[in-house]
A and B are shown apart, each in its own frame.
Chain A
């Protein structure tokens, strides 16, 4: 069974009252990178995932989780 990476980045970012641009500035990437991660177009590296978790002050597994792929 294959899995894909789900995330609650948008929800957690909104909870912190941050815009995509503000979160991007905190972790040192472009707003577009945050946008594509939120929309599950781009899977971030472990380093970026940990930076996002640190910026939102949550454990990384609260942002990212594995879910079974739809067609399986």
Chain B
């Protein structure tokens, strides 16, 4: 049973990593394109790279979403949901959500300050906030889950 639970937790963490990285690539590339378009800049030889990042990110995000559905049914079948989502999981989830909230406040303040110096559209600001709002809590949750201290004795 413990092996099965460890396996499910590893799968969940891999899916969360895929989701966070994919979203960062997808929306990060889109943000770069928005900024370039507003600034009237060209990517030149890097244009293909930016488009590939966008495509790979979008596909990765869609794939992660689909795999999460499969994962959820696998967890339900294994009847391990209450163990996987135990107290530590809820505790780490709360910390990650709080971290994401603080990161969003900090990013909003930075964008407001930046708005005094440079002009940018609401689309750019909202996309930047969306990236932070999704990736910050996911990353924090994954980091919290990685810390394993003194193991079995």
B86 x A30 contact (CB < 8 A): yes
Whole-angstrom CA separation of A31 from B91 in the bound complex? 15
Chain A residues, CB < 8 A from B70: none
| In the complex, chain A residues whose CB is within 8 Å of the CB of B152 | 19-21
Contacts of A21 in B (CB 8 A): 2, 152
Q: DSSP majority for the B interface?
A: helix
| Interface bracket on A | 20 to 34
| Beta-carbon nearest neighbor of B5 in chain A | A30
Q: Which residues of B contact A31 (CB under 8 A)?
A: 2, 5-6
B84 with A14: CB separation less than 8 A: no
Residues of chain B at the chain A interface (Cβ within 8 Å): 1-2, 5-6, 9, 82-84, 86-89, 91, 145, 147-153
A residues engaging B (CB < 8 A)?
10, 14, 19-21, 24-25, 28-33, 35-36, 38-39, 41-42, 44-45, 48
